[in-house]
Structure 1
Amino acid sequence: MTKTAEAGDNIKAENERKSLFFHHLRKRIGWNGDIKEAQESKKLDGKIAQADGYALDDLDKAIQAIEAEDKSKITDSYIRHGEILEWLGLVPSFEPDMFRDRMPAVERREKQGELAGLANKPRESGFAKGGDDDQAWLRGFDRGQATFNQNIGPAMERAEQSRQKGKTELIKTRGRPKKNASAAGQPIEGETPDEAKAAEKAQTTQAAAPVAPKPPKPAKAKSPEADKPEEELTNAERETLAQARAMFN
C-alpha cells in the first residue's frame, strides 16, 4: 500500500469516528431538550397541584410507595416516623400494630388492583391468569378506573373554579389603585389621565412652600472718569483708561 493510499484510509477512518461521535452527540442533545421540556412541564404541573392543595412531597411519597417492590419498607418507615413523632410529643400514643398488614388476601389483592387502576397502570395483575388473586386484582383495577373516570371531570372543574376564585380574592385583598387617586392615595380631580395628572401637579404646586425671590445684585460703581469725554481727561486719567482698555482687549 502506498503512503497516499494509507493516508487516505486514515482520513476516512477518522471521519467515520468523527461522524459516529456526532451521531451520538446529536441524540444526546435531543434527549437533553426532551428532558428540559419534561422538567418544565413537571414544574408547571407541580404548581397546579399545589394550587389544588396537594403537597408535592406527598405525591412523591405516594409514587414511591406505588413503585416499591417491597411494600413493607414503606410501612416500616411510616411506623418509625410515627414513633419518633410520639417521642417528640407531636402526636398522641402511637400504636405500631395498627399499621401492620392484617387485610385478608383477597381484599388485599383488590386493593392493590384498585391502586393500579387509579394510577392508570397496565391492566396486568402479575398473578396466574384466571386465578383467585388475578380475578380479585382485576376487580379492584376496574373499580379504581371507574372511580377515577367518573369523578375526575367534576373534580377538575371544581378545582379550576377554586383557583379562579383564589385569584379574585387575592386581587380583593391586595386591592387595585383607584381610578382618580394619586400615588399618595389622595383624590384628585379630572376624568382623563391627562386632566388627572394636571390636577395632581397643581395640588403639588400649591402645597409646596413659596420660595422668596433672590435680591438683585447691586450695580457696580462707575469710576468718575468713565463719564468724562476723553479730551477732558488728565494725562494720569488717560493712562489709567488705557491700562483698563488693555486689560479687557
Structure 2
Amino acid sequence: MEVLNIRNLKKVYGSRFGGVKYTALDNIDLKINQGEFVGIMGPSGSGKTTFLNVISTIDKPTSGSVFIDGKDVTKLREPHLSQFRREKLGFIFQDFNLLDNMTLKENIVLPLALSKTPYSTIEQRLSDITKKLGINEILNKHPYEVSGGQKQRAAAARAIISNPSLVLGDEPTGALDSKSSKELLSALQNLNDNNNATILMVTHDSFAASYCKRVIFIKDGKLFNEIYKGDMSRKDFYQRILKILSVIGGDSDDIG
C-alpha cells in the first residue's frame, strides 16, 4: 500500500520581483510504501530539510504534489490541514518538544486525549508502545527527570501512538550520545518491524541511516541515488552508505 507519492516536487526561494532565486528542490519524484523505513541523506544545503518541511506540510512547494494516503496535502487549507497533520502524521524532533510540566505519560497520550480517544484505547496503546520502546517503567516521571535518550523514546512514543500513516524524523539522534542513539534506533526498528510503522527520517548520521531499509541521497536539490538494505548486514549497509556519501560530500560517523 502506497503511503507517500511525490510528483515533480519543486521548491524555489527568492523574490518574484527580480531578486536572486535559489532552487532547493528540483523536480523530485518519490514513492514510499507502508512499512518502509527510509532515510534521507545529503550534504549540508542539499535540500533534505526543505524536503522534509514540504512533506510535513510546514512549507509549501513552488510546484508539484505530495500525496499522503491518496490526498494531495499541498492543496489542503486550514482547518483541514491541521486535522490531516494531527491524524496522519507523527513527528520526532531533534530537541524532543516535550512539555516539562507534564509527565512522560501525559506527553505521550496528549494526541489521543486531544482527539477524545476512549480511555481504554489510550491505555492499551500506551502499554503496547512504551513496552516496545523500553520506557514503561518511567511514565510517571517528568522530562527533566530522565535522560536525553529516554526523552527521545518518549517523543517517539508520542509520534506513533495515534497510528499515523507516516512518522517523520528530523535528525532524531542529533542531540543524543552514542548509547542513547543506538537505543532509539533499535526502538524505531522494532516499531517498523512489529507495528508496520512507516518511517521517513532525515539524518546526516551514517550510523543512524544504517538502521533503515532504504536510504535516499539528495544532492543540489535532486535525487542523486538510493540503495536498499535487502539481505545485507547493517555493517555492510553502513559501508555502502559511506561510499556514496564520499562521492557527494556528505557527513559520516563511525559505526559501533
TM bucket (normalised to shorter chain) is under 0.3
Structure with the greater alpha carbon radius of gyration: 1
Q: Which has the higher helix share?
A: 1
Higher relative contact order (CA 8 A, sep 6+): 2
